Amino acid sequence: MDYSKTLNLPETEFPMRGNLPKREPEFLKFWEENKIYEKKQKLHEGHTKWVLHDGPPYANGHIHMGHALNKVLKDIIMKYKYAKGYDTPYVPGWDTHGMPIEHACLNAMGVDRHSMTALDLRAKCDAYAHEFIDIQREEFKRLGVLGDWDHPYLTLQHPFEAEQIRVFGAMANKGYIYKGLKPVYWCPHCETALAEAEIEYADQKTPTIYVKFPLVKDNGKTPEGVNGRPVYVVIWTTTPWTLPGNMAVTLNPDFEYSFVENGDEVLFMASELVNTVAAEAGLTLGNVLGTVKGREMEYAECEHPFPEYNHRKSMICLADYVDLETGTGCVHTAGGHGDVDYLTCLKYNVPIVCPVDEQGKMTAEAGERFKGLFVFDANVPILKYLAELGFLLGKKNIHHQYAHCWRCKNPIIYRATEQWFASVDGFREAALNAIHNEVKWIPAWGEPRIHNMIADRHDWCISRQRVWGVPIPIFYCEKCNEPLVNEATIEKIANLFEKEGSDAWWKYEAAELLPENTKCPKCGHTHFRKEKDIMDVWFDSGSSHMGVMKKRPELEWPCAMYLEGSDQHRGWFQSSLLTSVAVTGHAPYHSVLTHGYVVDGEGRKMSKSVGNVIAPQDLIKQYGADIIRLWVASADYKQDIRISKEIMKQLSDAYRKIRNTIRYILGNTSDFDYEKDKVAFADMPELDQWALMRLQQLKKEVEAAYEAYDFHVLFHAIHNFCTVEMSSFYLDIIKDRLYVSKEDDPVRRSAQTVMYETLNDLIVMLSPVLSFTMEEVWQFMKKPANSPESVQMLPWPEVKQEYINDVLEAKFDNFLAIRGEVTKVLEGHRQNKTIGNSLEAKVVLYAEGEALEILKSVEKDLPALLIVSQVELHEGASGGKEETGRADLKVTVKPADGHKCERCWTYSETVGKNASHPELCERCAAVVE
């Protein structure tokens, strides 16, 4: 007789293989067609809100692994918060203005931007941005990210632009906006100013030179030993092209400076650096003729080395920033080409000279010799000219990190231009107060990091010399050039932008944009012209808290969280904080969470040139989005996150183990109706009670990890629970009960109750991470008729505290330690082929002390717990043949007594005693009759 048909074998159509690349799109379709996001929001309408405001990715190119990491982290959090009962609207956004899109459009058309009208170029940029929004939207959705994808926020939307104008107006009204001539980061290729957040650093070969400036006014400090010889102040620079802009030399007031012989001339430099300079410049210096403190040389004068500057004087100034790390202690100071240089010149009333145009070319102010040269091309001619004049003391090349434009990747310069700025001084203290008292920073090091950035930052240059963006809403009097901005002009423009968008700025004349009868507040003139510059894109996204959070009724301000990469401390976190504090006095967020960068398996930055770029689209085709989501949850994202084929393979294996655990439970609960068949906790065997207790403890651990945003902790906890505690222990032991017992045997129903409750809780705990797979599981589960249609609508499982029993926990912890020792011995016999599988064995245990006490407490269940046919327990640890890792336990493994039952495969001396079923043991014979 074929007894296999009498067994309760698992039955499920849930596939063993995930086949995620093929199956996941079916669930995407299910979520969209059934409007799951909308139904979720309706279900939690009126609940406490928990809003994560999406930092807008740039609408350019396909998404990369950094985008995938970011969006999946947000999605995990939002799905968890929803399960916890919150109203969790998620409105994705896109950053749509700025140079990269302008560049891309111009390159695609092969034209110069000056050959197009502003409106034509803006129309091309608008279409380009929308094209990539559509591409990225589908790519984000394919990752399983749920949100209001049909109604995202875009920084080019008319209402958004209108609110941005109002934010600017509010800051201008408070006196925070001003125009000034200042050196700013300037990209000569993009022909625009840049913010600090738009700067990247890359290695560059740079000339370093020592240059002699004739000292022509010495404050009477030249030592007697000079004897009429010429004295030269020695400066050192890595930017020779800035020498035409030199107007001063800066010393440290507290350093000692030496007058040192160099043949028939005398050099002046910091005493501590004399030997270094001699070595670097290849000089053989003579005696030190005398020393002075830097402060004694204040207001002394040098002469510029280039005679065509009519022997222009360079004043000696003082500043504490001069150090002894490099150079000579005498700093070449060009107020038009450096931030600290500018401040020094301002302090000493030294003119700001910037002989470089917007294309990075030397102007006539630099002299006929250099006029028209690109700044970096001017280095060699300047060195040659210095050498001809006898002022070049030494030169060499170095490699160092130099600032580059984040968009075009070319080196940038510092260039003094008239720009619009937001004065941070006016609200710096309020911003620092908000950082410390209003916001939780995760990880905690984010707090001092952004504090230092804002404490030390200069005013924010907010103007850009482009057309694809939101215009700076300022007018100039045609008669006296006075800038005009007030509440009336701002509101008129904002209202117009609300209807027509910022194209209106280029579409209409100034008179049409201004309120009627507008007069210049300074001279009373009535004719005006428009500002040509647009706002920094960081002002765009930095205004989103007002344009999105305050305007959309489903959201709220301040929001619960901003979540982006750690580079956003100097980017979006900061620009949002500054605009928010400037306008409202408060931070726009309650918490800020940051993640690291995605790097390759060796920890290297991903780069096309290195050939180590991994694209999410390729991983989805090979593994499916759920494996990417598992990668996000498995790593400590607060540091840089590695990704490689090996890592993805390991995660696929981990996924498979979790899936197999779930499939096993589905197969073994196919004939189980929870409402009808469940067994009360009190009526369960101890092993089942232990399993449900562990489930409650897991829920606690997982919830704590979600609350702390430590997703790698919950992943490892669930993975360990599924593979070690469930598959390798509990599910292995109850297999006999499930397959062999009568279908409705209470011990079988008890095990099924445990499995059903475990799966019910597991799918909710895993749904934020493995969203596709848990949706698939939910569709296969037997569930009540009134169950939600999607796993994503399920509430977070409550911890049944009454299931947690310290005595039971200690009992099983102790037993599992002993079981591990016995299993090792059995495994040795399997490898030696003295037994085939554990059911062929009879285990004789010799125990004393603690081991004896533990084993006696579970004695009647030992064969089941050890998955052997028989167990004998003897007092005293001296009789066993085989040592274990415990002094109080020895083991002997023997062949099991009796014969093998053809149904349950257990060996029993009762096999053959039933005449009707001689191949079966007594237990199985009773079941089949």
Q: Where are the alpha helices (DSSP H) in 349-456?
A: 379-389, 428-437, 446-456
pLDDT of residue 468 exceeding 90? yes
Beta partners for residue 318, in sequence order: 251
Q: Per-residue confidence at 193, pLDDT binned at 50, 70, 90?
A: confident
The pLDDT of residue 885 is 86
- CB-count burial class (<10 Å; 0-12, 13-18, 19+) for 54: buried
Q: Which of 189-198, 302-311, 894-903 has the lowest mean pLDDT?
A: 189-198
Q: What is the residue-averaged pLDDT of the chain?
A: 93
What gap in Å lies between CA 20 and CA 776, rounded to an integer? 10
Q: Name the 3-class secondary structure at 901.
A: coil
What gap in Å lies between CA 490 and CA 495, rounded to an integer? 9
Q: Per-residue confidence at 752, pLDDT binned at 50, 70, 90?
A: very high
Beta strand 392-405 with 534-535: parallel, antiparallel or unpaired? unpaired
Would you state the CATH architecture of domain 205-407?
Alpha-Beta Complex (3.90)
- Could you give the C-alpha distances from 724 to 658, 731, 754, 824, in angstroms and in order? 11, 10, 16, 15
Across the range 898-917, mean pLDDT stands at: 94
DSSP per-residue string spanning 207-274: EEEEEEEEEEE-TT---GGGTT--EEEEEEES-GGGGGG--EEEE-TTSEEEEEEETTEEEEEEGGGH
Nearest to 53 by CA among 445, 432, 543: 543
Across the range 152-176, mean pLDDT stands at: 97
Q: Where are the alpha helices (DSSP H) in 623-745?
A: 625-634, 645-668, 674-677, 686-707, 711-720, 731-740
In this structure, are residues 387 and 169 in contact, taking their beta carbons and an 8 Å threshold?
Answer: no
pLDDT of residue 681 exceeding 90? yes
What gap in Å lies between CA 842 and CA 862, rounded to an integer? 11
The pLDDT of residue 815 is 94
**Phi, psi for 679 (deg, rounded to 5):** -110, 135
What gap in Å lies between CA 484 and CA 497, rounded to an integer? 18
Upper half-sphere CA count for residue 262 (Cβ side, 13 Å): 22
User: Given CA atoms 461, 464, 470, 474 in this order, what sign does their dihedral have?
Assistant: positive
Give the other-Cβ count within 10 Å of 494's Cβ: 20
Give the other-Cβ count within 10 Å of 783's Cβ: 14
Q: Per-residue confidence at 880, pLDDT binned at 50, 70, 90?
A: low
Upper half-sphere CA count for residue 773 (Cβ side, 13 Å): 33
Across the range 283-295, mean pLDDT stands at: 94
The pLDDT of residue 53 is 98
Beta partners for residue 872, in sequence order: 844
Q: Name the residue with higher pLDDT: 877 or 661.
A: 661
Q: Per-residue confidence at 214, pLDDT binned at 50, 70, 90?
A: very high
What gap in Å lies between CA 5 and CA 83, rounded to an integer? 42
Cis upstream peptide for 558 (omega within 30°): yes
pLDDT of residue 924 exceeding 80? yes
Q: Per-residue confidence at 167, pLDDT binned at 50, 70, 90?
A: very high
Q: Where in the chain do CATH 3.90.740.10 domains reside?
A: 205-407
Nearest to 344 by CA among 354, 357, 335, 356: 335
Q: What is the DSSP-derived secondary structure letter of residue 477?
A: E
Q: Per-residue confidence at 439, pLDDT binned at 50, 70, 90?
A: very high
Q: Name the 3-class secondary structure at 119.
A: helix
Nearest to 52 by CA among 663, 803, 824, 593: 593
In this structure, are residues 754 and 688 in contact, taking their beta carbons and an 8 Å threshold?
Answer: yes
Would you state the CATH architecture of domain 3-13+640-804?
Orthogonal Bundle (1.10)
What gap in Å lies between CA 39 and CA 672, rounded to an integer? 30
In this structure, are residues 89 and 555 in contact, taking their beta carbons and an 8 Å threshold?
Answer: yes
Rounded to a whole number of angstroms, the CA Rg of the chain reads 38
Per cent of the chain over pLDDT 70 is 100
The pLDDT of residue 854 is 94
CATH topology of domain 817-897: hypothetical protein PF0899 fold (3.30.2320)
Beta partners for residue 65, in sequence order: none
Q: Where in the chain do CATH 1.10.730.20 domains reside?
A: 3-13+640-804
Q: What tens digit of pLDDT does each residue of 588-632 get?
A: 999 999 999 999 888 888 887 788 889 999 999 999 999 999 999
What gap in Å lies between CA 38 and CA 31, rounded to an integer? 10
Across the range 791-795, mean pLDDT stands at: 97
Which residues, 6+ apart, have CB-to-CB distance to 676 below 8 Å? none
- Could you give the C-alpha distances from 492 to 162, 496, 497, 582, in angstroms and in order? 10, 6, 9, 22
Q: Where in the chain do CATH 3.30.2320.20 domains reside?
A: 817-897
What gap in Å lies between CA 882 and CA 866, rounded to an integer? 17
The pLDDT of residue 836 is 87
Report helix, strand and coil shares of the chain as percent, to nearest 5.
45, 20, 35
Q: Please give the model's pTM, rounded to 2 decimal places.
A: 0.87
Q: Per-residue confidence at 197, pLDDT binned at 50, 70, 90?
A: confident
Q: What is the DSSP-derived secondary structure letter of residue 799?
A: P
Upper half-sphere CA count for residue 697 (Cβ side, 13 Å): 15
Amino acid letter, residue 228: G
Q: Name the 3-class secondary structure at 561.
A: strand
Q: Which of 289-303, 402-416, 551-565 has the lowest mean pLDDT?
A: 402-416
- Could you give the C-alpha distances from 729 to 621, 865, 866, in angstroms and in order? 35, 8, 9
Beta partners for residue 184, in sequence order: 415
In what order do the strands lie in the sheet containing 483-484? 483-484, 475-477, 528-530
What gap in Å lies between CA 187 and CA 356, rounded to an integer? 12
The pLDDT of residue 24 is 97
